[in-house]
Amino acid sequence: MRWRSTAVGVTAIALSLGGGLAANAADGPAEAPPPADALASIQPSSSGIELLTLPPVSEEMSELASELSGKHTDDPNFASVEVTRKRDRIIVYWHGAPSRELLDTIESRPLVPIEIRPTQLAPSMLKGKAASLAHKDATVGSIGLKHDGSGLLVTLKESPENGWEKAAASSRFSTSLGVPVEVASDAAPVPAANARQFDVNYHLGGARIYDRGSGGACTSGFAVRQNITSREAMMFAAHCGPVGSQWSVYDGGPHYYIWGAVAARDTYHDGAIIDSGWSQPYSWTAAWNSYVYTPINGSAYPYVGQEICYSGSFSGLKCGNIVQQVDVGYELGGDLTDIKGFRTQHSNGEPAVGNGDSGGPGYQIVSSANGLKRNAVGIISAIPRESGSSCQGVPGNSAPGGRKCSSTAYATSVSSIAASLGYYIPVW
């Protein structure tokens, strides 16, 4: 499963059966959050190769697979992307002739072996069938495309008691929809292992999160607690979504899990709270696709000359960002007409923050009598309008709407957001 969460993360097709991204239906009551000491503090580690159950995926292959999945998810002819178990090539499941955009993406990585496999059925048609079945049949627990576009796969709210019952349900659905439908024998699988990209169980800052309605991506910021009730929640950016918008994480395939809905926003500091129910005072760190996290030991206000380490879920960790200016006002449209934040500049002019990092953590590292401490300082908010496509982590794209990155970043004060919304930053 560890492998699965790194490599199968490329098979994302998010269909909406009641809105945007779908969520898992794991049964049973939620357990109490784990004790803080259950999570190890960060340590530079051995290679980790010994923990894989399949050969490691090359970085370039992984990046291309991720790029393919991200760029083409909304294309009606796109079914999924798969990295083979031998790790010798990527397979794109596509209906009809490949689009120019798909070919451009593939040709941008000439060294990665690619295979395009035609799907029997149009993914867009299957998605429509899936949505209609989900809405009209109360026995359906989950429904989705087979990743090769050959039909649908359904689980029932109550598992079939025998093979005959499964076959009968499969026949009934296939006849009703006019496409092949396979009924699985059990409920949704257990979530995959956790990582920055697939933070199903930990609920840490720096995780990739998705708006269930729009499918837009942001990054979680810092674990917070409500001042009076101590209810656990997650801070991120207000511009990511309105109050009520639901935020989910991907498990590496095939599910999205709801973390919670936005419960409060501070438009003056571009900060918001996801009512996640639980969260832990750690941040995912290192590369954009890492498994590594580190404790958050406190919080601090921004000041000029402070060095910030950003850890967005698209760019990964980037330190060396020096606060140039505090109390900077800027606007991002909508109800965010007068945001107060701070501006950082990377000391070597390297890209530090880009699209997809919004909401993510910015922390400082300080020395203390008890060793190093990481203090929550900022929530990633914005980048200059003229930013380029040179990015760390997930590659940039110079096309309009493509991912852009910058050595200049605008962030907002975690402490100010927390004070405004009635939360505090728990410490490890």
Partner 1 sequence: MNRMTFLGSTGALLMLISGAALTACDGGVQHYAGPVRVTDPVQITEAAPQDGALSSAASLITKELSGDPKFGSVALEQGKLVIMWHGPENDRIALLRDQLPGVDISIRSAACVPGTVMDRAGTLLTEDARVRVVGMANDGSHVVVTVSEGADSSALAAAYEARLGCPVRLETGGVVPATGK
Residues within window 291-350 making contact with partner 1, judged by CB under 8 A: 291-292, 300-307, 309, 312, 314, 317, 319-320, 324-332, 337-338, 340, 343
Q: How far is CA 403 from CA 64, 123, 289, 384, 407, in A?
A: 14, 26, 17, 13, 14
- For CA atoms 272, 277, 282, 286, give the dihedral sign: negative
Token pair of 289 as six digits: 């696709």
Q: How far apart are the two ends of the chain, measured CA to CA in Å? A: 28
Measured between alpha carbons, how far is 295 from 375 in angstroms, rounded to an integer?
9
H or E element at residue 411 = strand 408-413
Judged by beta carbon, residue 15 or residue 274, the one nearer partner 1 is: 15
User: What phi and psi values does residue 396 have, to the nearest 5 degrees?
Assistant: -85, 175
Contacts (CB under 8 A) with partner 1, residues 166-195: 184, 188, 190-191, 194
Judged by beta carbon, residue 238 or residue 273, the one nearer partner 1 is: 238
Judged by beta carbon, residue 148 or residue 165, the one nearer partner 1 is: 148
User: What phi and psi values does residue 309 have, to the nearest 5 degrees?
Assistant: -105, 115
Q: Of the candidates 69, 105, 170, 355, which one interacts with partner 1 according to CB under 8 A?
A: 355
Residue 235 CB, nearest approach to partner 1 (Å): 16
Residue 276 CB, nearest approach to partner 1 (Å): 10
Contacts (CB under 8 A) with partner 1, residues 74-93: 79-80, 82, 93
Q: Of the candidates 205, 206, 252, 254, which one interacts with partner 1 according to CB under 8 A?
A: 254
Residue 112 CB, nearest approach to partner 1 (Å): 8
Residue 305 CB, nearest approach to partner 1 (Å): 4
Contacts (CB under 8 A) with partner 1, residues 45-64: 45-49, 51
Judged by beta carbon, residue 184 or residue 264, the one nearer partner 1 is: 184
Judge residue 202's burial from the number of C-beta atoms within 10 Å of its C-beta, 0-12 exposed, 13-18 middle, 19 or more buried.
Answer: buried
CB atoms within 10 A of CB 383: 21
Q: Of the candidates 54, 122, 263, 366, which one interacts with partner 1 according to CB under 8 A?
A: 366
Q: Assign residue 206 a region (left: φ > 0; alpha: ψ between -120 and 50; beta: otherwise).
A: left
Question: Would you count residue 105 as binding partner 1 (CB under 8 A)?
Answer: no
CB atoms within 10 A of CB 35: 8
How does DSSP classify residue 336?
B
Q: Of the candidates 117, 158, 185, 399, which one interacts with partner 1 according to CB under 8 A?
A: 117
Question: Would you count residue 161 as binding partner 1 (CB under 8 A)?
Answer: no
Instruction: Tell which residue, 223, 241, 240, has the closest CA to residue 232.
Output: 223
Site string for partner 1, 122-151 (x = CB under 8 A): --------x---xx--x-xxxxxxxxxxx-
Contacts (CB under 8 A) with partner 1, residues 264-283: 277-278
Instruction: Tell which residue, 236, 156, 157, 167, has the closest CA to residue 199.
Output: 236
Instruction: Tell which residue, 182, 175, 121, 123, has the closest CA to residue 155.
Output: 182
**Span interacting with partner 1, options 7-15, 60-68, 165-173, 225-233, rule CB under 8 A:** 7-15
Contacts (CB under 8 A) with partner 1, residues 12-31: 13, 15, 17-19, 22-31
Residue 258 CB, nearest approach to partner 1 (Å): 6
Residue 162 CB, nearest approach to partner 1 (Å): 22
DSSP H helices in 75-231 = 100-107, 123-136, 163-177
Q: Of the candidates 60, 88, 115, 158, which one interacts with partner 1 according to CB under 8 A?
A: 115
